[in-house]
Chains A and B, each alone.
Chain A
């Protein structure tokens, strides 16, 4: 029976490394989050409910969750295509394109925000043509979707890519020999193998989009009830020193983040189990 905390090992440094890890995470992560949840817990239920169910707040949930969902779906489709193209095809400039996929991950969100609004404003490089088609992006809900698609772009590509690389060509060849055409092979052999990775990437993009602030606020226009995302409301309330109100909404976002993190972990565990077979 091992009730011991760890298996003994000859490799030194367990105490100090785990000790520092727990100390630092406790200090900077766990205690502050705990204190924050405690702060919210001290509110009366009525106050809390009033703060989180105000019409303006509910409108912001709808926008934040809806736009994040649409952005994650767009990334699911286009991310899968990008991953496929990068793994399976050869073309000029592939290496550079491959590297560029990580750009939204490294680019400061404020920079992305002003770049996107400049691009999609009615006088911008892209916006002026969309205007002709009758599409307005900047300062509309569509703008929010564009910004969230941008910041979520790497996730699906980067989770699907390695799985696709490891996918044995023999599986597809076997499917072809057994008489399946390319589309059937895609549907019956490739997609099921990629499914866990696709879902993981989707969930990661969604989680990132939900909490995003910097890249959205420039392009959204921030009209109450129309283009106001939930994180913006939190900032607004904090700036007006309405900390309980901000904390109540923040707690809702935090719990949503916890749920998503759990979901992502389960998906990753599923992916790992899937790929080992």
Chain B
């Protein structure tokens, strides 16, 4: 079942939570709503669920208007950030709840309920916890029970609010992969909210990047990561270095160095900012390459196989961050205080209209 969101607006007092959002979430896909806190992603999810009412706009499920359908009849599965398991009920009763509250004529028989709950508990690999109370489970287990409970009523869409937010790093990673596999098995149209770009990139089929109540970009993880539509998306999806750049004839230059990527924006000429990811900064042993910038190594951090460098480029205010394999670092023979040269290999330039070209220097991150 696809979800169509049309011109949805939502304010809380003076705060604009959702600002004229129009989106179409295709059937059977797992979509991530990604954004910083306060970007309106959770409000949008709650509006889709029917837990919050939009000030204006429509929500359609598979073309059918659901805006005024009450949450209890909307047929959504909702997994809350803190699970919202019923503390006083056993795991079994929690999962069975949605079935037992149905009107008598629709309610499955006791045996049928038992069957379905058992199957769901097997699906989330927690059938042995049926008679426990939620307080006796770990965070990751509670999360999976919350999911089983949401699936018990056979929802048309599944909505998850920061599903891994309250878990520690290891459980988080495991549960992420598990959710992805589960989705591949059941193919239910699903939407989850996250502020963690890595999580969104790893798990989802589609990413919707939100900021200040608006959709900044929408697309597959590759599209969004490789072709960010604007500076916000670029900087939100990972660490980034900023360089002042001049744009002439559709060619961007940082100092003497020509960047291979074309500039964006309406103006073919002017001053812009080049966004370069740390792994797109090449570290050179000498200044043989044209346009390389002289730099001093300020700090080295080795995390597993990757080395992270902090570099001071002459005349620049902020440090440049670069990432390279540990082996490469060793062959360069760099240590703290070494002189070296850096060259942005790949990047994206966003032209700032009305600014005149300035000195080639790197600015804030």
Tell me, yes or no, whether A and B come into direct contact in the complex with CB atoms closer than 8 A.
yes
**Chain A interface (Cβ < 8 Å from any Cβ of B):** 2, 7-8, 10
B57: min CB distance to chain A, Å: 15
Q: State the B residues within 8 Å of A (CB).
A: 11-13, 50-53, 70-71
A8 near B53: Cβ-Cβ < 8 Å: yes
A183 to chain B, nearest CB (A): 42
Residue of B13, B50, B70 touching A2 (CB-CB under 8 A): B13
Hey, which chain B residues are within 8 Å of A7, CB to CB? 12
| Contact of A10 with B12 in the complex, beta carbons under 8 Å | no
Docked-complex contact A10 and B13, CB < 8 angstroms? no
Taking chain A's interface residues, is the majority helix, strand, or loop, or is none over half, making it mixed?
loop
In the complex, which residue of chain B has the Cβ closest to the Cβ of A7? B12
**Number of A-B residue pairs at CB separation under 8 A:** 10
CB distance from A39 to the nearest CB of B (A): 42
Residue of A nearest to B11 (CB): A2
Chain B residues near A8: list those with CB within 8 A.
Answer: 53
In angstroms, Cα B51 to Cα A2, docked, is 19
Query: In the complex the two chains form, what is the Cα distance from A8 to B71 in whole Å?
Result: 13
Residues from chain A with Cβ under 8 Å of B71 in the complex = 10
Provide the residues of chain A in CB contact with B12, threshold 8 Å. 7
CB-based closest 4 A-B pairs: A8-B53, A10-B71, A10-B51, A2-B13
Q: Report A-chain residues with C-beta under 8 Å of the C-beta of B52.
A: 10
Q: List 10 A-B contacts (CB under 8 A).
A: A2-B11, A2-B13, A7-B12, A8-B53, A10-B50, A10-B51, A10-B52, A10-B53, A10-B70, A10-B71
CB-nearest residue of chain A to B46: A10
Query: What residues of A have a CB within 8 angstroms of the CB of B13 in the complex?
Result: 2
Chain B contacts for A2, CB-based, 8 A: 11, 13
- Compute how far the CA of A2 lies from the CA of B13 in the bound complex, rounded to whole angstroms: 6
In whole Å, how far is B14's beta carbon from the nearest beta carbon of chain A?
8
| Additional A-B contact list (7), CB under 8 Å, known A2-B11, A10-B52, A10-B70 | A2-B13, A7-B12, A8-B53, A10-B50, A10-B51, A10-B53, A10-B71
Which residue in chain A gives the minimum CB-CB distance to B51?
A10
A158 to B356, CA, bound (A): 67
Report the minimal beta-carbon distance from A11 to chain B, rounded to whole angstroms: 9
Chain B residue nearest to A8 in the complex (CB): B53
Q: How many angstroms between the C-alpha atoms of A7 and B12 in the bound complex?
A: 8
In the bound complex, CA of A230 to CA of B13 (Å): 48
What residue of chain B has the Cβ atom nearest to residue A2's Cβ? B13
